[in-house]
Structure 1
Amino acid sequence: MLKNIFVLLLAAGMPLAGAAFDEVPLTLKGERTQGALLLGKTDPEASVELNGQSIELTETGYFVVGFARKADLNQQLTVKLDDQQRQENLVLTERDYRIERVDGVPQRTVTPDPEQVKRTRKEAEKVWLARQQQSAREDFLTTLVKPAEGRISGYYGSQRILNGEPRNPHYGEDIAAPTGTPVKAPWAGVVTLAEPDLFYSGGTIIIDHGYRVNTTYLHLSSVDVQVGDVIEQGQMIGKIGATGRATGPHLDWRVNWGNERLDPALLPTLYE
């Protein structure tokens, strides 16, 4: 009977008790919470999956995974090397985001008119396409620098409820500073979007940093790069402004892993 169970386990590819689990190397850096980006390292010959989705590795075995604002708290990371397998149950902490209720707002400022809706849909598609570009750059492996100096005035995940209607959450970190304050690239990368006047975000830049990681910069008064430009870390890419639907001069900067919108404030934990 025991022999039959042993054969069935082997046929199913299931790990046996006493298997060399620790021989599959894996390190993870970053805060295990909603909205976070994690930086992993394993054997370059290994394969990695997050909840069954294949994750691409660099030539030296690094990889990144990201979790949405309301991501499930239990995530399954699987690393396979030769005939061995290592599974990590990543338990994320749940976050409590800032919710602000505002009543009595004129409806015309809450709901765009039909022409504005048409325009914003076209612009949203352009932004979406810019974020789909993937490259083998490894810029995210370098400790990032701050994109601008100023007071933090807005936080990732916060949300407004206007006249009882929930609006889209805020997916960036706001840095308040005077118009004209330089904005620098926190990592090196390649520009995939450079628009001086989008309806909601005004002057907007998106930079690809490799392996589905990209950053976005909104409400710029000046866009000083073009699509295809290769940007060095710390290079000035534009200037803070109040363009688009902004109430005052500030930089709203964001980070994505593919289509997952992440919290820029958590990025420094990757390098601790």
Structure 2
Amino acid sequence: MIARAGLKGWMLGGLVLIALISGGASPLARRLTAAALPDLSSSAAAVPAEFTFTGETTQGGWIRGKVPAGTRSLRLDATEVPFGADGSFFVAFDRDAPPGATLVARLDDGRAVTRALTVAPRAWQIENVNIARREGGPTEAFMALRQPELARIEAARAMRTDAQGWRQPFIWPVKGRISGRFGSQRVYRGEPGSFHSGMDITSGTSGTPFVAPADGVVILAATAPFTLEGNLLMIDHGMGLNSAFLHCSQILVREGDHVKQGQVIGRIGMTGRATGPHLHWSMKWRDARIDPILLTGPMS
């Protein structure tokens, strides 16, 4: 014997089925059909069939977007790229990135969706100097100090946290005069020197506070000054994106702390190799050096 609730459901399904087969559905059957069949249009529209993204496809730039529906894995050229449960991802392009890159999503059904990217070149600030570079590399004594520091920086950048700051529009950690721009470089009688890896911001005197440009987790907070960076603070924003703040006079957070965008995290100084108080802010995605101003926009 069919229970009353089961009988009601069976009769409802039968009416819908008869109406669909006969093609001559009554008004009642049409109403039942509309109620019984789910509307999939809104959920389907929320998941893209192709890549969608916004950002700056240029040297030192970045993009943030969503993978196609059904993506199992994602690559940027030869680099495996993680993405969130909602399909969101972040990738960036080095200061010296080549003119092209390719996103490849491998789908659950084995198909691949590709998107070719054109990476626009930048006109970097180049200063030609009519003197030769100083001969000889760093001394053994210096490298004895430097190697452990480089190992700590590399280990910090290799850390993966649950930070979600990569999803946010970034803000400036401090406002002031930009005294050094990302990507600028000196050329010594035709021999290129190292390019400037971040943005130098001069704001007041030592002790001026600066804030987190986005949410993150503290992955390095130097308890003693590094030879070049001085008091070094590093924040992971998630998905391989991180910020480094150099020459601090004081660090106000500890390793492992979760910080929020706009939270005061340190004070500007001139520790390490610096000629005056300023904040050097550099950013990296994986091994790619990127330009902070392309994440914040111009300073207002």
Partner of 1:90: 117
Q: What residue ranges of structure 2 are gaps of 5+ in the alignment?
A: 1-46
Question: Distance in 2 between the 1:186 and 1:43 partners?
Answer: 29
Match of 1:237 among 251, 265, 276: 265
Q: Does 1:31 align with 2:59?
A: no
Query: Deviation at 1:224?
Result: 1.4
Where has structure 1 moved over 4 Å in runs of 4 or more? 103-108, 162-165
Partner of 1:13: none
The higher-RCO structure (CA 8 Å, 6+ apart) is 1
Equivalenced residue count is 247
Partner of 2:197: 171
Query: Deviation at 1:230?
Result: 1.4
| Matching residue's letter, 1:225 | V
Match of 1:72 among 98, 104, 108: 98
Matches within 5 A, 1:244-255: 244-255=272-283
Partner of 1:193: 220
| Matching residue's letter, 1:87 | T
Q: State percent identity of aligned pairs.
A: 37
Match of 1:221 among 231, 235, 249: 249
* Contact 1:183 1:240 survives alignment (8 Å): yes
* Contact 2:163 2:215 survives alignment (8 Å): no
Query: Deviation at 1:117?
Result: 2.6
Alignment RMSD, CA only? 2.3
Query: Deviation at 1:51?
Result: 1.2
| Matching residue's letter, 1:93 | A
1:37-69 deviation line (CA, Å, top 9, x unaligned): 211213464132211432111011110111111
Question: Distance in 2 between the 1:162 and 1:192 partners?
Answer: 36
Query: Deviation at 1:23?
Result: 6.3
Q: What residue ranges of structure 1 are gaps of 5+ in the alignment?
A: 1-21
* Contact 1:38 1:66 survives alignment (8 Å): yes
Q: Does 1:256 align with 2:281?
A: no
Partner of 1:58: 84
Q: Does 1:115 align with 2:115?
A: no
Instruction: Calculate the TM-score normalised by the size of structure 2.
Output: 0.76
* Contact 1:44 1:60 survives alignment (8 Å): no
Give the secondary-structure state (helix, strand or coil) at the position aligned to 2:74. strand
Query: Deviation at 1:137?
Result: 2.5
Query: Deviation at 1:119?
Result: 1.2
Instruction: Calculate the TM-score normalised by the size of structure 1.
Output: 0.83
1:49-98 deviation line (CA, Å, top 9, x unaligned): 21143211101111011111111111111223344432111011111211
Question: Distance in 2 between the 1:31 and 1:161 partners?
Answer: 27
* Contact 2:183 2:196 survives alignment (8 Å): yes
* Contact 2:212 2:259 survives alignment (8 Å): yes
